[in-house]
Amino acid sequence: MRTFIFLLFIGFAISMSSCREDFEFKPSTGDLTFSKDTVYCDTVFTNISSSTYSLKVYNRSNKDIKIPTIRLARPDSKYRITVDGMTGENQNNHTFRDVELLAKDSMYIFIEVTADVASSNPTDFLYTDQILFDEGTNQQKVELVTLIQDAYFLYPKRFSDGTTETLTIEGIEEPIYGFFLDENDPVNGNEYLWKNDKPYVIYGYAAVPNNKILEIEPGSRIHFHAESGLIIGNGATLKAKGTLEDKIIFEGDRLEPGFSNVAGQWETIWLTAGSTNNEIEHVIIKNAVVGLNIDSNDGNFMPIKNTEIYNSSLIGLYAKTAKIQGENLVINNAGITSLYCGIGGSYEFKHCTFNNNWASSRQVAVWLNNYYKDIDGNTQTEALDQADFKNCIIYGSNTNELLLDPDSGAAFNTSFSKCVIKFGTTSNQLYSFIYDENNIKRSENPDFLDVSKNKLIIGDDSSAKGFGVNIGVTNDILGNPRTTIDAGAYNSVIFED
């Protein structure tokens, strides 16, 4: 037995010594390979941190190696890197020493950048650096490139006692993180004129007070940070009038392509009760919680023309006891409904396209009602004086995309003329109009180009082609003359294969 134990010990010692070489790391010889030779970080605003990007480093040799240094080339680099989960020697993680990498193995390097326009190349606004692997003749490198975009930054003031500016809004108990615009701001100048020379980035809610007009130039781009938005107060006015060539765009402040169609990145554009003379034309609103939130306005019809609202996590256009005239309005995809006209009001929609393919069994494209529940649970009604839809498309992925939701305590007046409506069978007399084949095409495919990419142009085989009548909206949303009168915001086209 003692001999057996002795032989076992000798065998174990021999096996350990034979494996020792596996744990001896040789200096690298410049033979690393990389998942990419240049890491392009997507466009960021000045002094706003980027997303995190990754680079994979491979040791394809049969030897375990030790990389003497991995570092950023610029000593004052605005980039930050972590190597295989490790932090570097200094505060900004610029240098890593003696990094071990096993044979036939790989590791990740994660990269971020926070830079400003002043540090970028003045001719192209690119900020560049390199990750250097090893030194001397064995040195290898991977390029780092990002585009820095300058912007106007609007945000609440911070006071000397450490508190920040807030807004008190009627009907909301808690103050909200926000600020009033300033026509004599020391940095931005007149904040009641949003210019198109560079983007605006908004933190918190930007508010327009009584008797003030916010005018937004054609071609302006407005980016909202998370939980931010725009408030047009009682007696205030929004003039957002773009052109066919220079649309005004409202969206989130994440510029990476992966965020281009992500809903709920910012809050809303809120036209509060009593806001007056608002105009919206040639505007795109993307990726909000609620795209447009319109309370009871000043009693006059508010025009919304040639406007697109996409990817709202709750509601695209949320109108309450409002008066709206919509022409060439396109709303696509929302968690609850693309268009909500509730608690009464008056609405006219001509040549509009309302679609909802949100992945939910309860979503609809259009929801109309004339009541609400107060805080005590009691039903309060307001007359829906009119909700007229002419030459419109109401469609989506569910069987029924139109919800008529009245209370008998107030008027509920709706009309649908020459519309394509996604709707199944029903015995409810409210929907009797959907069986009028001369006036309504029920559940016939409008043949959209690509709903997932918000391309709601209709094809040559669309059920909406030629179904409309002349109601005075002479051009479609793209500015094309309406020779054949199609339902919806777009003229039909022949799709290319």
Domain match, 162 and 132 both = no
Domain match, 205 and 323 both = yes
Domain match, 384 and 271 both = yes
Residue 57, judged by CB atoms within 10 A of its CB (0-12, 13-18, 19+), counts as buried
pLDDT, mean over the chain: 91
Q: Is residue 471 part of a domain?
A: no
Q: What share of the chain is helix, strand, coil (3-state, %, to 5)?
A: 10, 45, 45
Domain boundary pick from 89, 117, 149: 149
Domain boundary pick from 424, 441, 458: 458
Beta bridge partners of 307: 329
CATH number for position 116: 2.60.40.10
Q: Looking at 117-126, 399-408, 485-494, which range is the least confident one?
A: 117-126
Decide if 229 contacts 269 (C-beta within 8 A): yes
Residue 445 above 60 pLDDT?
Answer: yes
pLDDT of residue 174: 83
Q: Is residue 452 part of a domain?
A: yes
Q: Report percent pLDDT > 70 for the chain.
A: 94
What whole-number distance in Å separates Cα of residue 406 and Cα of residue 260?
A: 37
* Residue that has been written with the tokens 């529940």 in this structure: 373
Domain match, 142 and 194 both = no
> What digits encode the pLDDT tens for the residues 364-405?
999 999 999 888 899 999 999 999 999 999 999 999 999 999
Q: How many domains is the chain partitioned into structurally?
A: 2
Q: Is residue 490 part of a domain?
A: no
Domain match, 325 and 347 both = yes
> What digits encode the pLDDT tens for the residues 305-326?
999 999 999 999 999 999 999 9
pLDDT of residue 171: 64
Confidence class for position 18, pLDDT limits 50, 70, 90: very low
Domain match, 275 and 161 both = yes
Domain match, 112 and 190 both = no
User: What is the identity of the amino acid at 201?
Assistant: V
pLDDT of residue 14: 46
Domain boundary pick from 120, 149, 178: 149
Q: Report percent pLDDT > 90 for the chain.
A: 77
Domain match, 197 and 125 both = no
Domain match, 437 and 351 both = yes
pLDDT of residue 27: 87
Q: Is residue 475 part of a domain?
A: no
Confidence class for position 124, pLDDT limits 50, 70, 90: confident
Domain match, 274 and 188 both = yes
One-letter-per-residue 3-state SS of 9-49: HHHHHHHHHHHHHHHCCEECCCCCEECCCEEEEEEEECCCC
Decide if 290 contacts 311 (C-beta within 8 A): no
Decide if 218 contacts 240 (C-beta within 8 A): no
Domain match, 240 and 330 both = yes
Q: Is residue 232 part of a domain?
A: yes
Q: Is residue 275 part of a domain?
A: yes
Domain match, 169 and 104 both = no
The domain in which residue 311 lies consists of 152-458
